[in-house]
Amino acid sequence: MGGSLAARLLDGNKIRDQIKAELAGRIRELKAAGVTPGLAAVLVGENPASQIYVRSKVRTCESMGLYSEKIELPKETVSEQLLGLVDELNRRDEIDGILVQLPLPPHVDTKRVLEAIDPAKDVDGLHPLNLGKLVSGRPGLAPCTPLGIIEILQRSGIPIEGARAVVIGRSDMVGKPVAMMLLHRHATVTICHSKTRDLAAVAREADILIAAMGRAAFVSGEFIKPGATVIDVGTNRLSTPEEIRRVFHDPRGPLAQLEAKGSVLVGDVEPGAVREKAGAFTPVPGGVGPLTIAMLMSNTVEAARMRRKQWRVTSDK
């Protein structure tokens, strides 16, 4: 199954469009009942990547007929001010989902802010109550990127039950929740991190390898079992010719892109290695990224339905 000719590209844009088409019907139902799901996106400071993410989320809301608000605060905003805003959004009935874009400035108490969000409006799925529900397999809102990963696997016909899955990365946003979702679907799951001994050898045991550690092209060919499914969650920007020559087997295209755009996006998996050894893989860009926003829209619609008790979210997304 290995070899570049056998490697199957898992197109996140195509799967995103399927999900959005399915959501359109649910949104029409809610609107017919007088409900327009609403999302408030809070951005603190001027992080360029965060600005792009928030703008994309608000634009997607508008294109799908959801109500959205973008609330921009200066980087000097302190925890108490942000907590006051969250409290106000919790009380507004037309807001079904509250998204506080991470990372927040270092002087802000991120955990305290996330815990202040009403769990019923926690469309990022990061409130401890929702994470606890995920662990115990109870109904609740779950983190968007892990939900997107599961959608990619299921809609691409990748068997999860009985598979050996290895997750590289243990963040609350991706690594831990996706491991739980895979476990609930009867995969045998190993979580790896920076202290894992002989990381490449552990990764090579995986039928499903998920790379989510935030290090450009860290996962080389020696990490990948021939024929494995490789899900690359990384979004790293390379900004020097030296970095590009290190990462890409044929750097000509990326070097031209660097000259034109000033940076090149690369995942946590070495691009050449995954095409040579994987049975199926997600590209960067165009893999997991599009699903993250699609699942945010899905969570916002679910939150609107759950809050009005019109729809009961199914257990264990």
Catalytically annotated residues: 57, 101, 124
Residue type, 128: P
**Alpha-carbon gap, residue 152 to 143, rounded angstroms:** 15
Compute the C-alpha angle 232/236/242, nearest 5°.
120
Asked if 118 and 98 count as a contact pair (C-beta separation under 8 A), the reply is yes
Residue type, 163: A
Asked if 256 and 31 count as a contact pair (C-beta separation under 8 A), the reply is no
Q: How many helices and strands, by DSSP H and E, does the chain display?
A: 12, 11
How many residues comprise the chain?
Answer: 317
Residue type, 133: K
DSSP annotation of 219: B
